[in-house]
Amino acid sequence: MTRGGRRTSGRFRLTRAAAAALLLGGSAITVTGGTAAAAGDGTLTVQVLRDFFGTGIVNATMDTPQPGMSVLVTDPAGHQVRGRTDAAGKVVVDPSAPLAGGRYRVDVSVPDPYRAYLRAAPASTEKNHFDSFTTFVDLRESKDVSVITGVWNPADHTLPDARYYVPVQSPAVNSDGSAPDPNSRALVAFDRTFRGTCPADSACPTVLNTQAQVGTTWGLAYDKYRERIFQSAFAKRFTTYGPEGGGAIYTTPLGGGAPQLFAKVPDAAVTEHGAVDLRKDEHFVDVPGKESLGGIALTEDGKTLYAVSLATRSLVSFDATGATAEPDRTVPIPAPECAVPNDWRPFAVAAHDAKLYVGGICSAESTKRREDLKAVVYTYDGTKFTPVLEHRLDYLRGYVIAGYQEEDTDHWNPWDTSFSSWDKFTHHGPSPAPGPGINPQPELASMAFTRDGSMILGFRDRFMDVFGSGIDPRPDHNEASTGMSGGDITMACAAPGGGYDWEGTGACPNHGKPETNGNETPGVVEYFPGDFFDPSRSGNGLHQESAQGSVAYIPQQQWAISTQMDPAQNVSSDGVGYYDVSTGIGPGQDNPKHGYAFVGPANSFGKAGGLGDIAYQAANAPIQIGNLVWFDGDHNGIQDPNRTDEVPLAKATVNLLDADGKKVASTQTDKAGEYYFGGVGAEYQLKPGEKYTVQFDVCTAATDNVPGTPPATDLRFTLPTAGPDRAHDSNVVPPATGRLCNGYAPVTAPAQAGGVDHTIDAGVYLPPPPSPPTSSAPPATSPNPAPPAAQPPAPGAATGTDSLASTGIPLLPMLLILGGALVVGGTAFLVASRRKRFRQE
């Protein structure tokens, strides 16, 4: 029985009057025939959870409810109730539903638009596993039954030892005027367990390419299909582009080897540094955020790479399947309702659940009014951009550094690079002496998505790419100066009714409290209060906004990652901080427990932000096949609801044979009659699109629950591919020779990573004993031969224990007589519910 004793906890009840509430989009529930449910029926709760691990095991902590899934409940007479899972992922059918009989079949499926990215989750026979997409339940005697099944997006799959990747940005000239090391790192990779400062506390990152090879970069996209990483050019004062210029996108093979040019975005870079001292770099002051490239993103199927051109404010796409590519399409990213349209500055791009997200800000550069600052996120479907999030950015924030408590240091500011404002940038408080450059200017640089679909937003302080760490750009000013980054990590929670709630609004909590946020000014809202620097663990944030704008999130983890200023205990350093996605606890708590510093103050940008985007090592999800072996009492080849003579068969031996007939895996069915090959953690991993054969050796099956408890060797395979639904049939063509309880089903493994085919089933039945011969004379020559059961057996023909199959349809009267005799004789019929998951790719 499929977890028939599991109690329901859903609040929703399916009734005729309230049936429409079960369907998303206002659709009405569909009822086919039927009268009131059988007296004494219990309540059925069907819940669909989104699985992020692919193990087939329910994870109460990490799995999230999945709304919008189709649920079909069928009774023995064919009456049906249809519904869609609600926000809790549930459909609840109570005793007033128009079903009768008490025993029902439950089918779950993934409808549009969800089927673009969701599939049936991989299955398991281990304890606490998901129920199948097709499940049989028994609600008689007022039993409440809960069915829990899973869906997943294979694009979420990562390996336990997945690494992170981050570009490192270095000055083109050392602070003393000397040339930098041409082998200085431009892209590094590190283990996600590293904490503290390298090399004292953890190993330093692995260098994958150098500044001489790719120059200054920001955008990253991990290509799991071809085991390489994309990396794109970036405009930052005091730095230079790589050998292919400001529109270049490079690829680096992860198995070793030099980077190469993948593509160029036309017209991405216009301004030259000029023949100047790059410690001053006065001609490049207004370029950051306006030229070269912003974010890049690879679609989940690995087919298309998107890049944001900052100069043209457009989205450029490339065919990502080759070694090189030319631009495919260039689409302007529409300006939202900024106070001045020219202040629209797109930057971020991310792929999630078969959608592309593009983000940017209204910079207020033209109006210089803080209330005109706004963040905007679109989705793009290949045809149109649809806004899904807009929020003003004029709210109170933490201080960039607690020693300078001015309005310009605890708010976002309009974009400004004018030399007339330079003194304002560097003079804080009563001291006449210039201080660090502080004027946080927002740039929506990155986006990541949590398990429930909430959006983590990474805001880069664009001013750090303008001010940096070097010499004052103004004529007749040659003072050295350095900036202090004031970026942010922000949450936009997925709202229960759709859309997003900004942190501190609607259903999105404010976790900011003086004891957790570094003692920020009262009124500061923080979903991630751990965004501060507190090397002494005093509870007071020296820097109260220390995130630097790059965010990433691995769905199997509890911690999001962000680039970070001073992430551990050393000052003037860069690295990454880790944030609990539920509580917002981060590097500010228990320093350096939640941070990893790998860039020190020497020949770097120190506190002025010197890291690019973050990517993590994704993996192709394994594929899986399998499902059910059952006793088909009526020999119709279909898994029927409410039949007492149809039960699952345990201990049937199932072998997987490759195209050459070699056995590559073997298992036995569990008590629910289920088996599976492949999937996460399996010893043998199936190869996508390959030909296999599944061997069903039912001769070993336990038959103690089969009517009459026949020897397993007497079982024969039922009719193959019967009925219209491949989810409810048998795949084995009954053998005519050899061991007739041993059959084979050819299978083609799913072609796409993460695909499952849970329709490979085997049904068996017990053929009736043959009628005794009435004569040894040869049959009469008649144009209408006698029915097979009335014929004498041919020499060597099958008897109840013979080696030949009875492949015809048995005579129904004979079965009824046999069944009646067994009842009279007191033979117990064992009834079990069984379940089956069908294919969702």
Please determine, for residue 832, whether its predicted confidence score (pLDDT) is greater than 50: no
The predicted pLDDT at position 613 comes to 98
Mean pLDDT to the nearest integer, 345-350: 98
The predicted pLDDT at position 382 comes to 94
The Cα-based distances of 600 to 48, 170, 574, 608 in angstroms read 48, 11, 7, 12
The predicted pLDDT at position 7 comes to 33
Please determine, for residue 642, whether its predicted confidence score (pLDDT) is greater than 80: no
CATH topology of domain 623-774+786-841: Immunoglobulin-like (2.60.40)
Mean pLDDT to the nearest integer, 251-278: 95
Please determine, for residue 741, whether its predicted confidence score (pLDDT) is greater than 90: yes
Mean pLDDT to the nearest integer, 160-189: 93
Judge contact between 233 and 197, C-beta under 8 A: no
The predicted pLDDT at position 840 comes to 37
Residue 838 DSSP SS3: coil
Judge contact between 138 and 830, C-beta under 8 A: no
One CATH from 3.30.450.30, 3.40.50.720, 2.120.10.30, 3.20.20.80 for 163-616:
2.120.10.30
What is the identity of the amino acid at 21? A
Calpha distance 567→232 (Å, rounded): 25
Q: Over the stretch 420-448, which tens digit does the pLDDT of each residue have?
A: 999 999 987 777 778 899 999 999 999 99
The predicted pLDDT at position 776 comes to 53
Please determine, for residue 27, whether its predicted confidence score (pLDDT) is greater than 90: no
Question: Which carries the bigger pLDDT value, residue 411 or residue 94?
Answer: 411
Band of residue 803 on the pLDDT scale cut at 50, 70, 90: very low
How confident is the prediction for the chain on average, in pLDDT? 88
The Cα-based distances of 828 to 141, 188, 821, 825 in angstroms read 20, 68, 12, 9
Calpha distance 265→316 (Å, rounded): 7
Band of residue 28 on the pLDDT scale cut at 50, 70, 90: very low
- Which pair of structure tokens corresponds to residue 836? 């089956």
Calpha distance 264→598 (Å, rounded): 30
The predicted pLDDT at position 428 comes to 76
Calpha distance 326→321 (Å, rounded): 12
The predicted pLDDT at position 775 comes to 56
Q: Which residues contact 202 (CB under 8 A, 6 or more apart)?
A: 191, 193, 194, 195, 196, 596
The predicted pLDDT at position 603 comes to 83
Q: Over the stretch 313-346, which tens digit does the pLDDT of each residue have?
A: 999 999 999 999 999 999 999 999 999 999 999 9
- Which pair of structure tokens corresponds to residue 117? 């990215």
The predicted pLDDT at position 778 comes to 53
Pairing of strands 762-765, 624-632: parallel
Mean pLDDT to the nearest integer, 155-165: 95
The predicted pLDDT at position 641 comes to 81
What is the identity of the amino acid at 118? L
Please determine, for residue 201, whether its predicted confidence score (pLDDT) is greater than 80: yes
Please determine, for residue 209, whether its predicted confidence score (pLDDT) is greater than 50: yes
Calpha distance 310→548 (Å, rounded): 19
Mean pLDDT to the nearest integer, 534-538: 92
Band of residue 739 on the pLDDT scale cut at 50, 70, 90: very high
Band of residue 355 on the pLDDT scale cut at 50, 70, 90: very high
Question: Which carries the bigger pLDDT value, residue 176 or residue 220?
Answer: 220
- Which pair of structure tokens corresponds to residue 104? 């029902």
Please determine, for residue 25, whether its predicted confidence score (pLDDT) is greater than 50: no
Q: Over the stretch 504-530, which tens digit does the pLDDT of each residue have?
A: 999 999 999 998 999 999 999 999 999
| Helices of type H across 416-525 | 422-426, 463-467
The predicted pLDDT at position 58 comes to 96
Calpha distance 328→318 (Å, rounded): 5
Q: Which residues pair with 190 in a beta bridge?
A: 164
Please determine, for residue 797, whether its predicted confidence score (pLDDT) is greater than 80: no
**DSSP category for residue 703:** -
The predicted pLDDT at position 133 comes to 93
The Cα-based distances of 399 to 439, 442, 587, 594 in angstroms read 11, 15, 16, 21
Question: Which carries the bigger pLDDT value, residue 825 or residue 512?
Answer: 512
Calpha distance 29→94 (Å, rounded): 14
Please determine, for residue 639, whether its predicted confidence score (pLDDT) is greater than 80: yes
Calpha distance 653→732 (Å, rounded): 14
Judge contact between 749 and 688, C-beta under 8 A: yes
Calpha distance 28→537 (Å, rounded): 58
Query: What Rg do the C-alpha atoms of the chain give, in angstroms?
Result: 33
Judge contact between 346 and 334, C-beta under 8 A: no
Q: Which sign, positive or negative, has the C-alpha torsion 427, 431, 436, 438? A: negative
Residue 92 DSSP SS3: strand
Q: Where in the chain is the domain with CATH 2.60.40.10?
A: 1-153, 623-774+786-841
Q: Over the stretch 183-195, which tens digit does the pLDDT of each residue have?
A: 899 999 999 999 9
Q: Over the stretch 785-795, which tens digit does the pLDDT of each residue have?
A: 333 333 333 33
The predicted pLDDT at position 774 comes to 63
Mean pLDDT to the nearest integer, 347-364: 98
Please determine, for residue 385, whether its predicted confidence score (pLDDT) is greater than 80: yes
Calpha distance 378→605 (Å, rounded): 32
Please determine, for residue 165, whether its predicted confidence score (pLDDT) is greater than 70: yes
Calpha distance 215→232 (Å, rounded): 9
Please determine, for residue 43, whether its predicted confidence score (pLDDT) is greater than 60: yes
Q: Which residues contact 336 (CB under 8 A, 6 or more apart)?
A: 344, 362, 374, 376, 387, 390
> In which residue are the tokens 């994309």 written?
230
Judge contact between 43 and 94, C-beta under 8 A: yes
Please determine, for residue 830, whether its predicted confidence score (pLDDT) is greater than 80: no
**DSSP category for residue 732:** P
Mean pLDDT to the nearest integer, 203-231: 97
CATH topology of domain 1-153: Immunoglobulin-like (2.60.40)
Maximum CA extent, the chain? 124
The predicted pLDDT at position 430 comes to 75
Pairing of strands 64-65, 44-50: antiparallel
Band of residue 532 on the pLDDT scale cut at 50, 70, 90: very high
Q: Where in the chain is the domain with CATH 2.120.10.30?
A: 163-616
Q: How many residues does the chain have?
A: 841
Kind and range of the H or E element at 817? helix 812-824
For 214, left (φ over 0), alpha (ψ -120 to 50), or beta?
A: alpha
Band of residue 643 on the pLDDT scale cut at 50, 70, 90: low
